[in-house]
């Protein structure tokens, strides 16, 4: 019996067919007929070449199943980035650092085999270097339970560093830009890990705003910085990786191109040590309707477009909101029993939740259940000051659409963040652990390219073997 799941995960171009219909718009499932291989024309040379490739890939997977590519994530969150890379097979997230206790617990629960350090990445780096190079016996403790942490990472333990280094200073949603934001300096921690561990591969992620990061900028007021080195963050990152003898390539990737029902553009950099195959970036698998070219423009006037975004070039239609959540119940759920008596812990937790005022709730429930309906469809007696007054910020902005908005089931979600209020420009709500993570389909697509590069290196090494009788 063929292993359909394995076949489909090996490539986005792999699929299988069991039935066919007499036309493209069948009126009944009963009209299906089993498809026989004799009914199809096959290019024999192409099939033979692909079959030989798959057989070699299975041989590689069997070997790497015993010794997978080891991943280290110094800014893990709940592990979505590194675990999505791992999901394609042949890789394992063995160690991770996360400063948030709750996120570290979530990561450990979802990946019990991963050694998780609930500590600051700077502290763990210092701990590792002192232990490895100075023979220090100092102990670093877990932030949550104060227990001693496991032995720190050391050179030779890892094949890949995957890291979504902190992005808040570079995000366009950050209204309070700081010229010397401490979080901007964590890129130094990441590069120090690379210098210390010297992995074969690196995969880094950040927001698109990282391309606009200007080191040495001047603080003009509470909201603005000016000056600095144009694209200095990217220049520094690439220069540091090249100096450490790594090959690099970088690009902007759109999550919707890889099967996420959402628009989310992120910056990625892939690196490979000299002597190893540099992974490619995955080309789109889904025909996403947002028509950005994902071009990166440089100060000298040059530009790159590593990703093909032309409409009709991807094999699959994009994943809609309806595709993603249509299996959920459409009616509002009712309580199945009376609420239990609140404990003191429940009451304390409730104090941290912002209360939504009744007038906001009244406005939300009166938005028509129609695609893209928003505050502009409210009856006049429910208008808020900012909806109608000509001196309000909304009026000065031309009464932009979206607030109190309904989604279109045939469209896609916007980037999800965590400001839970219907009037915010970030009016789309999700838990921060998920909203800040790399979209799983994007991580899996990158994982396939990383696996393919490791597979090519494995083939090269086997071809270079000299057999002595």
Cβ neighbors of 257 (< 8 A, separation 6 or more) are 284, 285, 286, 288, 307, 309, 314
Catalytic position from the list 43, 120, 167, 202? 167
Cβ 206 vs Cβ 167: under 8 Å? yes
Question: Cα–Cα distance between 406 and 375 in angstroms, integer?
Answer: 10
Cβ 94 vs Cβ 453: under 8 Å? no
Residue with the two structure tokens 């477009």: 305
Does the annotation count 167 as an active-site position?
yes
Q: Positive or negative CA dihedral for 255, 259, 260, 263?
A: positive
* Active-site residue list: 167
């Amino acid at each position: 019996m063929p292993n359909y799941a394995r076949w489909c995960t090996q490539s986005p171009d792999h699929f299988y067919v069991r039935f066919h219909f007499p036309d493209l718009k069948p009126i009944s499932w009963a009209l299906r007929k089993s498809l026989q291989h004799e009914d199809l024309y096959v290019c024999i040379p192409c099939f033979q070449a692909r079959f030989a490739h798959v057989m070699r890939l299975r041989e590689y997977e069997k070997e790497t199943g015993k010794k997978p590519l080891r991943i280290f994530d110094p800014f893990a969150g709940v592990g979505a980035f590194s675990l999505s890379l791992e999901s394609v097979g042949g890789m394992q997230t063995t160690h991770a650092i996360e400063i948030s206790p709750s996120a570290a617990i979530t990561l450990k629960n979802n990946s019990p085999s991963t050694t998780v350090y609930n500590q600051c990445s700077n502290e763990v780096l210092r701990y590792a270097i002192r232990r490895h190079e100075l023979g220090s016996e100092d102990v670093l403790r877990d932030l949550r339970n104060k227990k001693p942490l496991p032995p720190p990472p050391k050179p030779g333990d890892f094949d890949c560093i995957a890291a979504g280094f902190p992005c808040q200073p570079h995000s366009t949603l950050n209204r309070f830009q700081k010229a010397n934001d401490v979080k901007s300096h964590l890129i130094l921690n990441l590069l120090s890990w690379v210098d210390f561990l010297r992995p074969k591969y690196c995969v880094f992620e950040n927001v698109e705003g990282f391309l606009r990061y200007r080191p040495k900028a001047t603080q003009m007021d509470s909201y603005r910085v000016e000056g600095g080195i144009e694209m200095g963050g990217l220049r520094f990152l690439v220069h540091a990786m090249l100096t450490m003898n790594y090959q690099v390539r970088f690009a902007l990737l759109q999550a919707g191109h890889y099967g996420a029902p959402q628009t989310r553009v992120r910056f990625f950099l892939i690196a490979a040590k000299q002597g190893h195959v540099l992974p490619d970036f995955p080309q789109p698998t889904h025909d996403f309707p947002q028509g950005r070219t994902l071009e990166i423009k440089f100060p000298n006037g040059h530009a790159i477009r590593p990703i093909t975004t032309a409409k009709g070039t991807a094999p699959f239609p994009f994943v809609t909101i309806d595709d993603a959540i249509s299996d959920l119940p459409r009616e509002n759920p009712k309580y199945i029993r009376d609420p239990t008596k609140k404990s003191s812990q429940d009451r304390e937790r409730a104090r941290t939740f912002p209360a939504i005022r009744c007038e906001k709730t009244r406005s939300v429930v009166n938005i028509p259940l129609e695609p893209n309906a928003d505050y502009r469809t409210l009856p006049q007696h429910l208008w808020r000051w900012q909806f109608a007054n000509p001196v309000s910020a909304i009026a000065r902005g031309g009464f932009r659409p979206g607030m109190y908005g309904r989604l279109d089931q045939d469209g896609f979600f916007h980037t999800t963040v965590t400001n839970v209020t219907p009037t915010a420009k970030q009016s789309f709500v999700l838990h921060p652990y998920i909203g800040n993570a790399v979209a799983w389909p994007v991580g899996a697509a990158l994982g396939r390219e990383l696996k393919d590069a490791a597979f090519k290196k494995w083939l090269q090494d086997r071809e270079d073997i000299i057999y002595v009788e």
